[in-house]
Amino acid sequence: MTKTNLRMAIFLVGVFTAIIVVRARTAGARDTANGPQVPESSYDTVIANGRVMDPETGLDAVRNVGISAGKIRAISVEPLNGKTVLDAKGLVVAPGFIDLHEHAQEPRNYQFQARDGVTTSLELEVGTDDVDEWYAKREGKTLINFGVSVGHIPVRMKVMHDPGNFLPTGDAAHREATSKEVEEIKTQVHRGLQRGALAVGMGINYTAAASHDEIVEVFRAAAAENAAVHVHLRHAGLKEPTTGLVGIEEVIAAAASTGAPLHVVHITSMGLANTPQLIAMVKGAQRRGLDVTTECYPYTAGSTNLESAIFDPGWQERQGITYKDLQWSKTGERLTAETFEKYRKEGGLVVIFSIPEAAVRAAIADPIVMIASDGVPVTSPKVHPRGQGTFSRVLGHYVREEKVVDLMTALRKMTLMPAQRLQNRAPMFQNKGRISEGADADITVFDPQRIIDKATFEDPLQYSAGIQFVLVNGVPVVSNGELVEGVVPGRPARAPNSQ
Ligand SMILES: [Zn+2]
């Protein structure tokens, strides 16, 4: 036998062996399929007889969902056996809601969010300046999944030694950075991305003195790590030349020229009456091939810190509001010129009644606009209700009562779309926002006839109603409409570390 023939013989033996192995595997699979379909207690948990709605495949039918080891293992017309069976007859079984924008990443807020159907809560707008520390603080201790961006705001505050708490009040708000400081900001943003931050956060309105050049440089750092930039625009409102439209022009240009994906946060509080024009800008960018997305919350008021740069002189004209449109979150009182000055020195959250209902409806009705809460800490009695009620308010008020949008589209805006926003950078999101075999068992089960927000501007610390079961990685955190005590199945939602 020549060397070539020997090689050929070995090759053929290899091929035959491979064929035999493949046949054996096929036969094995068939045997299993013909055996008892469902062994006793084959799943940890079964959600039985619910109306399963999956925005990715369009499935909308009564099914049984089998869950084991934190994953969805079966979606079946036939009954399934489970150690635990949750009766979902008459209820919708949806992917758990993914909130791209929740500032208050604290245990009490996670409870409110779980009761509102949220299984993954992410702080992507303001973010953090220390990604490792942020995750370490929560790992193994949380009710729902959690994640963060590296934030231009906190990084700028650190580099420029700003005395502010959460949002800048000193140099980081009011002074242009030196070229050395811009370099340091870029280095720290890049470092955060290397440590697995999900995105880059920006709030240009809060760092009003940041040059256009600095903004483009931060986009460049994001593009290098395939991270989207989640931006609160430089300008909001209707007064030229500081309109929301001017604000969105800046970041669409930065995204187009650097290649960084762009996500515009709370488009309604940026656009106000011009919200449809801002949405049109996002759509136009998408049609021209740019990766640009946006989100909204379902309320006619915003909320932020009174001491922030947003309330620097000229705010009434810029935002088209006055003192009485501001509600002090510690007491619920509407402000006057005197109390404005007093509380601005003291510092704290205000609720800002500035968004027309028509703008809210335009955003909720539009299939490209995701839902995200922008929730804030529940440490004051009259905080904005959005962190507690956003998702139930969309499903109860705007879907069922007002018929502004259909149920499947609304679910897509709070499950699949946020997962898709993140999955290029953080592949773990390929397994979230879906009811499919192999997906993470993050699941929200609710009564479509009863679901509603209970948190109001007058009485904001109220759980939503109508959400029966919420599972996080297969573990119930809400059961029969009540929080489950003593469980911490939340896991870090994080991009792979590149260093
Ligand atoms: Zn914001």
Q: How far is the CA of 466 from the centre of ligand 1 (A)?
A: 29
The pLDDT-based confidence of 13 (bands split at 50, 70, 90) is very low
Q: How far is the CA of 458 from the centre of ligand 1 (A)?
A: 22
The pLDDT-based confidence of 498 (bands split at 50, 70, 90) is confident
Q: How far is the CA of 53 from the centre of ligand 1 (A)?
A: 31
For residue 41, the model assigns a pLDDT of 62
Task: Give residue for tokens 């699979």.
Answer: 29
For residue 237, the model assigns a pLDDT of 87
Contact at 8 Å (CB) between 376 and 104?
yes
Q: In terms of residues, how long is the chain?
A: 499
Q: How far is the CA of 186 from the centre of ligand 1 (A)?
A: 21
Q: How far is the CA of 185 from the centre of ligand 1 (A)?
A: 20
Mean of the pLDDT values across residues 225-244? Answer: 95
Mean of the pLDDT values across residues 243-272? Answer: 98
The pLDDT-based confidence of 24 (bands split at 50, 70, 90) is very low
For residue 18, the model assigns a pLDDT of 42
Q: If we measure between CA atoms, which residue out of 392, 205, 209, 382 comes closest to residue 297?
A: 392
Q: How far is the CA of 398 from the centre of ligand 1 (A)?
A: 22
Q: How far is the CA of 206 from the centre of ligand 1 (A)?
A: 9
Mean of the pLDDT values across residues 2-14? Answer: 48
Q: How far is the CA of 336 from the centre of ligand 1 (A)?
A: 24
For residue 107, cis peptide bond before it (omega within 30 degrees of 0): no
Q: How far is the CA of 184 from the centre of ligand 1 (A)?
A: 24
Mean of the pLDDT values across residues 482-496? Answer: 98
Q: Kindly write down the DSSP assignment for every residue of 118-154, as one continuous string.
A: EEEEEEEEEEES-HHHHHHHHTT--SSEEEEEEEHHH
Q: Measured between alpha carbons, how far apart are the two ends of the chain, in Å?
A: 53
Q: Kindly write down the DSSP assignment for every residue of 313-369, as one continuous string.
A: TTHHHHHT--GGGEEETTT-PBP-HHHHHHHHHH--EEEE----HHHHHHHHHSTTE
Q: How far is the CA of 152 from the centre of ligand 1 (A)?
A: 13
Q: How far is the CA of 247 from the centre of ligand 1 (A)?
A: 13
Q: How buried is residue 397: exposed, middle or buried, by Cβ count under 10 Å (0-12/13-18/19+)?
A: middle
For residue 40, the model assigns a pLDDT of 52
> Does residue 23 surpass a pLDDT of 80?
no
Average pLDDT, the chain: 93
Q: Which protein residues have a CB closer than 5 Å to ligand 1 (ion)?
A: 232
Q: How far is the CA of 101 from the centre of ligand 1 (A)?
A: 9
